[in-house]
Amino acid sequence: MSWISSLAPWQWALFASVPVGIVLLCFLKLRREPVEVPSTYLWSRTIEDLHVNSLLQRLRRSLLLFLQLLAVALAGIALFRPGIRGEASSQGRSVYLLDTSASMQSTDAPNGKTRFESAKEMILGRIEGMSDTETAMLVTFSDRPDTVQSFTSDRRRLREALQRVEVTNNPTDILGALKAADGLANPRRSSEVGNINDVQVADAMPADLLIFSDGSFQPVTEFSLGNLVPQYIAIGGKSHKNVAITAFSAERNIEQPSQVQAFATVVNLGSEPIETVATLAMDTEFLDAATVSLDPGEQTGLSFVIDNDEGVALRLSLDIKDDLAVDNVAYAGLSPLRNVRVLVVTPGNTPLELGLATEKAAKICEAEFVLPSYLGSDAWVNRADAGTDDLVIFDRCQPKEMPLTNTFFIGSLPPADDDETTDDWNWGSEPSTVSLIDIDRTHPMMRFLELFSLLIFEGRSVVGPAGATELVAADAGAMLVIAPRDGFQDMVLGFEIISTDADGLTQTNTNWYAERSWPVFVLNVLRYLAGAAEATGSPSLRPGETVRVRLESAIADPKLRRVGDTTTRDLTPGPNGVIEIVGVDVPGNYRIEDGDRLADSFAINLFDRGESDLKVAPSVELGYEAVEAATGGIEQRREYWRWALMGVLGLLAAEWWVFSRRVG
């Protein structure tokens, strides 16, 4: 039998005065003024009690007094919280590491509970069994740690902290939580090891490290347990059923941008064969479906084709009830095809006019051609400051100041910046014959391009500012370079398409306009640099990851909204139009909107095979030490103070019955 006091010493002193007061009340005689009334002659014994000769009287045997004192004694015992618990080794300090990752949502725990609920019950049992001399802290971990409650011996605070904890959709990383526990148990030093002046700045304070998890995290090798005594409490059942969507994406057909192609991967990570239906929908509209039949461990690929020119927010769901629901749904999005406004400033460029007039380019582009003299007008100044164009192409000319939009310079350079702290564009070589030697095939501007058959009669290498990317390399240096500028992008081509000879006559400087790659390049310029359409879908991130988005300066009031929800979240762009969005951990399609305009979009998906694989790890590796899973249940304290309180209530009821019979 063990005892846990629930009162402070001064509270016990106050409680001890209660039985003393009860006994004194029995010694005291009540002084009443006798009044004769007819009915008192019928109550001779009562009349005798009214005769008072002294203040105190001898203590008489009283059943009521015995019951009252016994009730107080039982209440005192209850305040000592008597109980029985197994004798387990303890350091007096415990660190509870609670896994809140997505896999803890699995419903394969006993009694149909989730693993997270089962782990919380185990920790609560530990908290209830603490003695007054024990302390504990609660740390949760998913992709990042959270110290919910620091070390305390107050069980109420620990219970409240445990109640606040919620499971997440995030993946698992235990290293941060281990470092939080390591700060207590292992002392730190003031300088490097080997220094004679090195001193230990804290005493070692060993602690029990209790990890409540299913073990779905990577082995932690770069960590030393030191004075931490680990115990891994495995949470989860022996058998499980789970089918997961581990990949889902959408993209437009580069040849037919109105055609959307969607691809998905479905894996059976359970222990039994499954057959289900995968349903593709856009918002609430059904689009397509496919049957999926998989044996344990097998996976399959799914593909869908739909026609849509607008913004696409796709949802793929599996019609099955398994142990983990969060990986049964996946999301993908695409921006809508939209017309872009392009201003072309040129003395004359027929190949460029033809490239912008092709059937595909004309569907997504409204091009306006003006002469270089237009750059000296007030209309240009107002237009450049307003940023009304999606792209401005400067062919063999340059403005005095850069417009507030993306630009493409052909055979010319952007003007120098007045700010001396920034780099300017420069020519890297003298005009000469150019031979191309390499292109960056990974960049969207270079998709589906073959340029090595081009003839370029004269060109100069381009040197861009800091952060510039070389897209096409030649023997003379970089020939096509793109660089960021305060939320915009500028691209420079180091050779002219159409040039002018010494007599002022127009002549071609390259055969590019006669190649099949020329209209493809113009389409890439419209789609990537002008933003007409993204061939690839919206980026997909995991729950909890930081979302970084670069917006145009024309976006005045961006708001974040999850597709299907009406609530919005205000966003504040940084100085370069970059927004960092944190705390997005609910799977779904998200849109960044400016009024009715779609500025950008992204999707949040689990897509973590480690979280979807619900096998419980038999052991975990911490600092090159294998910690086996606990085979027994968690030792809980069995308390009897509630029975003592029930006894108090029974004694009070008996006292009332005896008193009622005497008075009655």
Q: Are residues 298 and 180 in the same domain?
A: no
What's the CATH number where 495 sits?
A: 3.40.50.880
pLDDT tens digits, one per residue of 582-623: 889 999 999 988 887 777 889 999 999 999 999 999 999 887
pLDDT at 490: 94
Lowest mean pLDDT among 100-109, 127-136, 342-351, 483-492: 127-136
Question: At residue 135, what are phi and psi to the nearest 5 degrees?
Answer: -130, 155
Indicate whether 3 belongs to any domain.
no
Indicate whether 404 belongs to any domain.
yes
pLDDT tens digits, one per residue of 352-373: 999 999 887 887 788 999 999 9
Q: Are residues 382 and 499 in the same domain?
A: yes
Decide which of 497, 529, 561 is a domain's last residue: 529
What gap in Å lies between CA 639 and CA 643, rounded to an integer? 9
**Mean pLDDT over residues 323-347, rounded?**
87
Residue ranges with strand state E in 191-241: 207-213, 228-234
What gap in Å lies between CA 248 and CA 245, rounded to an integer? 7
**Mean pLDDT over residues 478-493, rounded?**
91
What's the CATH number where 314 sits?
A: 2.60.40.10
Indicate whether 195 belongs to any domain.
no
- Cβ-proximal residues to 589 (8 Å cutoff; 6+ apart), any chain: 313, 314, 315, 331, 332, 333, 538, 562, 563, 601, 603
What gap in Å lies between CA 392 and CA 530, rounded to an integer? 9
- What are the respective helix, strand and coil percentages of the chain, to the nearest 5? 25, 30, 45
**Mean pLDDT over residues 550-563, rounded?**
78
Q: Are residues 164 and 264 in the same domain?
A: no
Q: Are residues 346 and 208 in the same domain?
A: no
Indicate whether 565 belongs to any domain.
no
Decide which of 529, 558, 587 is a domain's last residue: 529
Q: Residue 634: which pLDDT band, with cuts at 50, 70 and 90?
A: very low
Lowest mean pLDDT among 257-261, 288-292, 526-530: 257-261
Q: Residue 254: which pLDDT band, with cuts at 50, 70 and 90?
A: low
Q: Are residues 488 and 471 in the same domain?
A: yes
Q: Which of the two residues, 606 and 334, has the higher pLDDT score?
A: 606
What gap in Å lies between CA 75 and CA 15, rounded to an integer? 10
pLDDT at 184: 64
pLDDT at 201: 42
pLDDT at 281: 93
Mean pLDDT across the chain, nearest whole number?
Answer: 82
Question: Between the ranges 247-251, 576-580, 627-631, 659-663, where is the mean pLDDT highest?
Answer: 247-251
pLDDT at 7: 59
Beta pairing partners, 231: 210
SS3 of residue 487 by DSSP: coil
Q: Please list the alpha-helical segments (H only) found in 462-613.
A: 517-524, 609-612
Q: Are residues 429 and 356 in the same domain?
A: yes
What gap in Å lies between CA 454 and CA 521, rounded to an integer? 13
**Mean pLDDT over residues 311-318, rounded?**
89
What is the model's pTM?
Answer: 0.60
pLDDT for residue 279 is more than 90: yes
Indicate whether 629 belongs to any domain.
yes
Report percent pLDDT > 70 for the chain. Answer: 77
Task: Give residue 646's domain range.
Answer: 9-85+641-663
CB 100 within 8 A of CB 115: no
Q: Are residues 395 and 487 in the same domain?
A: yes
CB 279 within 8 A of CB 227: no
Q: Are residues 449 and 517 in the same domain?
A: yes
SS3 of residue 179 by DSSP: helix
Indicate whether 54 belongs to any domain.
yes
Amino acid at 622: L
pLDDT tens digits, one per residue of 96-118: 999 999 999 999 988 889 999 99
pLDDT at 255: 60
Q: Are residues 36 and 98 in the same domain?
A: no
pLDDT at 655: 67
Amino acid at 399: P
Indicate whether 515 belongs to any domain.
yes
Q: Are residues 378 and 325 in the same domain?
A: no
SS3 of residue 170 by DSSP: coil
Q: Are residues 248 and 346 in the same domain?
A: no
pLDDT at 302: 95
- Cβ-proximal residues to 87 (8 Å cutoff; 6+ apart), any chain: none
Q: Residue 346: which pLDDT band, with cuts at 50, 70 and 90?
A: very high
pLDDT at 364: 78
Report percent pLDDT > 90 for the chain. Answer: 40
Decide which of 479, 498, 529 is a domain's last residue: 529
pLDDT tens digits, one per residue of 391-446: 999 999 999 999 999 999 999 999 987 766 567 899 999 999 999 998 988 787 88
Amino acid at 383: R
pLDDT at 56: 45
* Four-residue CA torsion sign, 234, 236, 240, 245: negative
Question: At residue 124, what are phi and psi to the nearest 5 degrees?
Answer: -60, -40
**CA 536 from chain center: how many Å?**
24
Domain count, the chain: 4
Q: Are residues 467 and 511 in the same domain?
A: yes
Indicate whether 233 belongs to any domain.
yes
> Which one-letter DSSP state was computed for residue 2?
B
